[in-house]
Structure 1
Amino acid sequence: MGKKDIILKQYFSDNKRFAEIFNHTLFSGQEIIKPEKLKPVDSAQADVIALRDTAAEFVQKNRDIAKIYDDELELVILGVENQNDVHYAMPMRVLLYDALSYDKQYQSIRKEHHRSKDLKGAERLSGFSREDKLVPVVTLVVYYGTEAWDGPRSMHDMLKLPKAFAEFPHLVGNYPMHLLEVRKIADVEVFNKDLMALFGFIKYQQNSRELENFIQRHADYFNSMARETYTAITHAADIKDIEKYIEKKKETEAIDMCDALKQMQEESLQRGRREGAQQSLRQVAEKMLRMNHPIPLISEVTNLSEQEIIEIKKKL
């Protein structure tokens, strides 16, 4: 797992952010998932799955984030998967994660029945009674990549159905994938300020004018940003170079990201001007070479070294 993945995993593990992502993506902003009722669970799911008739392989899958939602003993397992790149097998991956969660629950129930020896007949054979129920599992994929998600969104999108099944796709089991594509969020301002800043920066980062307008509209927040949100933004948006423009402060102090972005932009403009000026001088040197002016004179006029002019001449 790369540093970016680790940082975003830690950031979204916060119960308030975790709940808000689910509520806005799956429940149209209704507060169905309450932060105070979320509990962390061991996200490592290791189970033996029979992959061939003659052998079994030990499959280790690690969710990015997994939490138990406990509402008066009504439980749901919620999982988040962070994606920086389109994954063209993501629905199958989510299906596997969820299946492992269900199998882990089933094996736990089965072992308890085996220990207590309280089942008979078909129930004993199943290791599962008529009254036993599994905890539902819901997985949300958060995609913050630069390209539009053009991958599958369900298992059916990954299948090549034979013509005979064209009119009966429902006969083949489907598994939809819940996807939050950050760049397609219609209104990032419905989120709290931390998530609004992160999602807004990701959404607008490829359009400098829209990004500048977004930051100006929320200057109060960007002028005094929480450090963990600043860290999440710089890694999610790949602008870690901004660190050199940030005034060194204690870990607990807020970050003035507006000022740092202005300095970064100004340096970029100055670099562009210098490169433009250099290009103009090279063009003058080319014209003088075509007019057969001597290299020492061209060097004196353009301030380019004689070696640079010789290299330009080789390309003519």
Structure 2
Amino acid sequence: LILMLGIENQTHITSLMPLRQLLYDALRYQKQREDIARVHRKRKDLKDEEFVSGFSREDRLVPILNLVVYWGTKPWDGPLRLHEILDIKSDLVEYRDKINDYRINLLDVGRMENLEDYHGELKALLGFVKYQADQQALGRFVAQNEALFSHVSQETTHAMAALGNARNLESYIQYEQNKEDMLMYGDVNEAIQGMMNDKRKEGQARGQRQKTHQVARNMYIRGFSAQDAAGLLDEPAERVEAWYQKWDQER
């Protein structure tokens, strides 16, 4: 074992991330030290100071690389270094370089520049999250990677739904079991297209409701009764009457 990789998925920005990652590092190194000491106790091969610490001059800890994968829609503007959350007073500035710092390794998915460096379902997942807030960009990315999205495992679609803030994604997918690995796969192309069509319809319906509401407001100002406005707009009388009552209260 030459390296231990730790990955933390994050959907929200937190100012304490440098401290949290520092603690994770310390705990994982401490766990390695305890494991090494346990082996030495069984072997009874240490003496003097090494026996007390349970760690010989030849022992080495495996390096740890922690990666914070940020899936949020907002650009990460939280601290990247421990120094950013330390209150280093002006009279301590000369000692700043001597105060231990710690930098986190951050992968901001939404701001990744080149997805061509990634392949397979990881590329599909990263692209889906990156473009989730821009339907046109998402549509282009899916079209350019149609084969990739046509056969996606259920585990990856779970991640897309959770990390891409698309909880209803899987309701559009019909899964089929692969006979080779016995895993469930689905066509995400059609699912994403279905979601985009529904969002487009929702937007059109919302726009129509806003237009109807504004017309009713104009009719109210011009003295139309709630009943007449409801009839002309083909809206439920109860809804228009509620609008009229609200506008009466605002006068």
For this structure pair, what is the TM-score category when the shorter chain's length is used for normalisation? 0.7 to 0.9
Query: 1:169 aligned to 60, 80, 96, which one?
Result: 96
Give the SS at the match of 2:168.
Answer: helix
Detail structure 1 runs of 4+ shifted over 4 Å in the superposition.
none
- TM-score (normalizing by structure 1): 0.69
8 Å contact kept, 2:135–2:196 = no
Instruction: Please name the residue that 2:197 is paired with.
Output: 266
Q: Secondary structure at the match of 2:235?
A: coil
Which residue number in structure 2 is paired with residue 148 of structure 1? 75
Match of 1:279 among 169, 188, 210: 210
* SS of 1:167 mapped into structure 2: helix
For residues 159 and 215 of structure 2, what CA distance do their matches in structure 1 show? 46
1:1-316 aligned at under 5 Å gives the runs 70=1, 75-247=2-174, 249-250=176-177, 252-316=183-247
Query: What CA deviation, in whole Å up to 9, does each residue of 1:123-179 have, x standing for no partner?
Result: 334332222222222211111112222222222222222334423423112222222
Flag structure 2 segments of 5+ consecutive residues without an equivalent.
Answer: none
**Contact 2:8–2:68 under 8 Å retained in 1:** yes
The answer (yes or no) to whether the contact 2:128–2:164 under 8 Å persists in 1 is yes
1:239 Cα deviation from its structure 2 partner: 0.7
- Preserved contact between residue 226 and residue 244 of structure 2 (Cα < 8 Å): no
Q: Deviations over 1:225-281 (max 9, x none)?
A: 333222211111011212332235447453222222222222222233333333333
Q: Structure with the greater relative contact order (CA < 8 A, sep ≥ 6): 1 or 2?
A: 2
Amino acid at match of 1:234: A
TM-score, reference length from structure 2: 0.84
Q: Deviations over 1:104-136 (max 9, x none)?
A: 222233344344443333333433222222222
Q: Work out the number of aligned pairs and report it.
A: 243
Moved more, 153-162 or 139-148: 153-162
Give SS of 1:132's match.
coil
> What is the CA–CA distance in structure 2 between the aligned matches of 1:288 and 1:211, rounded to whole Å?
41
1:289 and 1:174 mapped to 2: Cα distance?
Answer: 64
Residues 167 and 279 (structure 1 numbering): CA distance in 2 closer, same or farther, change over 3 Å? same
Change (3 A) 1:122 1:248: closer
Q: Matched residues in 1 for 2:44 and 2:169: separation?
A: 63
For residue 194 of structure 2, what is the amino acid of its counterpart?
Q
- What is the RMSD of the two structures over their aligned residues, measured on CA atoms? 2.4
Q: Which consecutive residues of structure 1, in runs of 5 or more, have no partner in the other structure? A: 1-69
More strand per residue: 1
Distance 1:250 1:211 in 2: 27
